[in-house]
Copies of this chain bind each other. A is one copy, B any other.
Amino acid sequence: MRLAVIGAGAVGRSVVDLAGEHGHEVVALADSSTAVVADGTGAGSRTAGVDPDAVVARKAERGIVGDADPEDALEADYDVLVEATPTTLGDAEPGFSHVTRALERDRHAVLANKGPVAERFGDLRAAVDDSDGEIRFEATVGGAIPAVSTVEDIEPGHVTAVRGVLNGTANFILTRMAAEGLDYDHVLAEAQDLGVAEADPSFDVDGTDAALKCVILANVLSFGAADDPADAREFTLDDADVSGIRDVPGSALRLAAEDGRTVRLIGEATGETVRVAPRLVPENGTLAVSGTQNIVQIETSHAGRLNISGRGAGGPETASAVLGDVGRLE
Binding site for B on A (CB under 8 A): 18, 21-22, 143-146, 149-150, 153-155, 157-158, 284, 286, 300, 302-311, 314, 316-317, 319-321, 323-324, 327-328
Query: Residues of B contacting A306 with CB < 8 Å?
Result: 144-146, 308-310
Query: Residues of B contacting A304 with CB < 8 Å?
Result: 144, 310-311, 317
> Of all chain B residues, which has the CB nearest A283?
B284
A302-B316, A303-B316 known, 10 other contacts, Cβ within 8 Å: A21-B158, A154-B320, A155-B323, A302-B317, A302-B319, A302-B320, A303-B321, A304-B311, A304-B317, A306-B310
Q: Is the CB of B307 within 8 A of A310?
A: yes
A163 to B158, CA, bound (A): 28
User: B143, B153, B309, B317: which contacts A149 (Cβ < 8 A)?
Assistant: B153
- Copies of this chain present: 2
Q: In the assembled complex, how far is the CB of residue A200 from the closest CB belonging to chain B, in whole angstroms?
A: 27
> Of all chain B residues, which has the CB nearest A145?
B306
Q: Is the CB of B320 within 8 A of A310?
A: no
Q: In the assembled complex, how far is the CB of residue A1 from the closest CB belonging to chain B, in whole angstroms?
A: 13
Q: In the assembled complex, how far is the CB of residue A29 from the closest CB belonging to chain B, in whole angstroms?
A: 19
A155 to B323, CA, bound (A): 9
Query: Residues of B contacting A319 with CB < 8 Å?
Result: 302
Query: Residues of B contacting A155 with CB < 8 Å?
Result: 22, 323-324, 327
A323 to B327, CA, bound (A): 21
A303 to B323, CA, bound (A): 12
User: B302, B303, B309: which contacts A286 (Cβ < 8 A)?
Assistant: B309
Q: In the assembled complex, how far is the CB of residue A160 from the closest CB belonging to chain B, in whole angstroms?
A: 13
Q: In the assembled complex, how far is the CB of residue A88 from the closest CB belonging to chain B, in whole angstroms?
A: 26
Contacts A306-B309, A320-B158: A153 and B143 contacting too (C-beta < 8 A)? no
